[in-house]
Structure 1
């Protein structure tokens, strides 16, 4: 089968198209014929060797995909050959930058007829992460003010919609006037172009928008120095969710910024969550249904062929994209 493999850690140039043997569905596994695979910042971290569960090369990256069931292993029930599905990697599967992948059945969900496979491939990482952080961890809902950082990213645009649909007032932060305006189209109450409000000015603008109170929930998808600002932007008794650290620098915690507020810091990491017992299927089903009935809109900005995975990573790391980048692998 066709695949994109990493034979050594490095930049986007180490993503090499190869031919590898077809995988086989073992007991409790589903063989998925992949139509589309989502591209995420975690994939870039895996490629560069800094992701905590990257494994060692050679390896096939990719943590989310959609396609059809090609075969089922012993003990698998509820899924049939030819069924349209979405799948995610719990750290044990080989990765989805490939035509086929053998996936544990607990990571595979059947799709509604109205949901196309390219859109579905964008759900398991960014959307599931935003959903879990806002609905389960932070409990964001009606009456809350929610700050979403990097709101023009895949996870950010998902978070804006999820929080707004739950009745929260969303303040969307993004790194350019164009990105901030775009993020505002998904239901944000207010937007902040962080390029116009660098450093402490960002904190002051968030406090101005919230009447000096701060936000009930801050979804920090950036880390590093942005996380220190998140602690200053949260309200008394609020919650700061540490979803990611794409800054790849230490996230400084000054207890003076949140301790007097009785605020909480909530950590999140999807792979570890699953290792410790989280079953993602119910949440993925609900997300897929809400996208299928157009409650949510998944902005897939760029679709590239599998063999252009390098170009996809280059675009991702330049932060040129608004919304998701997806690799077209097979027939969608």
Structure 2
């Protein structure tokens, strides 16, 4: 089978097509004939050697796939031909999603939302599960106020929409060019993004917000927006700056590998219109390097998707 990966870490030009033996589904596992793979910033880190998988080269990135079930092991609740989305772990036993076939435990998969394409569905698993875990760790009561940085991004947009559905009051940041997009997500307030976003959040919530979800990784620039006793959700291992009275929660989506029920709830959220999927562009898998170049250039909204 064909996979896309790197033998040497570096820039997008290092991504190449390789041949590997086809994997097969064991007990409790599903093999997916991959149709679409979402390209995320995590993939670029793996390609550059900053998030090396525990495997022999070629190192294969990718944490999101969608496709058709073409092999099932014993005890699997899917059937051949089912259209499924999968959350994959490049450092795990089965490797990354940039592959013609993906094998994984059935609990790492769910049916794609009705009425969506494979490309759209592939953008949901990793960032959707990250958003769900974020809100679970914050454990806010209905009516609490939450500020989301990076609201126009894929993760930020999912957090905004799921927080609104959970009955939270949402303050979202936005650049001027993204304002219409961010407003379409349904936040209660929109503030200009930037290094002083905490000041603008506090103009709306003078006593501070109950929680900040920092998908833009602004870190200490925005901790002052949290009220005493509030919480701060961070990513990529940042454990906080020691601000007194703030509970720092580190979100790690790898903990959600077997979260079928959560992934299935995300499916229904898409089907009822609570979560919006966005595709920035679709490219064939042999143009993975170009997809990485476009992503790293910045300014895109939604995910680039590779197809086999």
One fold, TM greater than 0.5?
Answer: yes
TM-score relative to the length of structure 2: 0.92
**Residue 216 of structure 1: which of 210, 213, 223 is its match?**
210
Structure 1 residue 228 displacement after superposition: 0.3
Whether 1:229 aligns to 2:182 is no
User: In 2, distance between residues paired with 1:190 and 1:13?
Assistant: 41
Is the Cα contact below 8 Å between 2:162 and 2:274 reproduced in 1?
no
What's 1:89 paired with? 88
Structure 1 residue 180 displacement after superposition: 3.6
Is the Cα contact below 8 Å between 2:192 and 2:200 reproduced in 1?
no
Whether 1:269 aligns to 2:252 is yes
User: In 2, distance between residues paired with 1:269 and 1:52?
Assistant: 16
SS in 1 for 2:222: helix
SS in 2 for 1:237: strand
Structure 1 residue 128 displacement after superposition: 1.2
Change (3 A) 1:242 1:55: farther
Map residues 234-313 of structure 1 onto 2, 5 A cutoff. Answer: 234-244=226-236, 253-255=240-242, 258-259=243-244, 262-271=245-254, 273-274=255-256, 279-313=258-292
What's 2:153 paired with? 153
What's 1:248 paired with? none
RMSD: 2.0
Structure 1 residue 100 displacement after superposition: 0.9
Deviations 1:83-142 (A, max 9, x none): 1111111432221112111212221223354343222111111111012211x1112453
User: In 2, distance between residues paired with 1:47 and 1:269?
Assistant: 20
Structure 1 residue 29 displacement after superposition: 2.1
Structure 1 portions without partners, runs of 5+: 246-250
Map residues 11-30 of structure 1 onto 2, 5 A cutoff. Answer: 11-30=11-30
Change (3 A) 1:254 1:82: closer
Structure 1 residue 52 displacement after superposition: 6.3
User: In 1, distance between residues paired with 2:60 and 2:307?
Assistant: 16
Change (3 A) 1:52 1:9: closer
Structure 1 residue 253 displacement after superposition: 4.3
Is the Cα contact below 8 Å between 2:105 and 2:258 reproduced in 1?
no
User: In 2, distance between residues paired with 1:244 and 1:219?
Assistant: 13
Structure 2 portions without partners, runs of 5+: none
Structure 1 residue 9 displacement after superposition: 1.0
Is the Cα contact below 8 Å between 1:34 and 1:98 reproduced in 2?
yes
Structure 1 residue 26 displacement after superposition: 2.9
Whether 1:132 aligns to 2:115 is no
User: In 2, distance between residues paired with 1:320 and 1:65?
Assistant: 23
Structure 1 residue 306 displacement after superposition: 1.3
Is the Cα contact below 8 Å between 1:36 and 1:326 reproduced in 2?
yes
Is the Cα contact below 8 Å between 2:39 and 2:62 reproduced in 1?
yes
SS in 2 for 1:65: strand
User: In 1, distance between residues paired with 2:267 and 2:176?
Assistant: 31
Change (3 A) 1:55 1:177: farther
Whether 1:77 aligns to 2:76 is yes
User: In 2, distance between residues paired with 1:306 and 1:222?
Assistant: 28
Higher deviation after alignment, 29-38 or 299-308: 299-308
User: In 2, distance between residues paired with 1:308 and 1:107?
Assistant: 27
**Residue 207 of structure 1: which of 183, 193, 202 is its match?**
202
SS in 2 for 1:178: coil
What's 2:186 paired with? 187
Is the Cα contact below 8 Å between 1:70 and 1:82 reproduced in 2?
yes
User: In 1, distance between residues paired with 2:17 and 2:168?
Assistant: 44
User: In 2, distance between residues paired with 1:252 and 1:282?
Assistant: 28
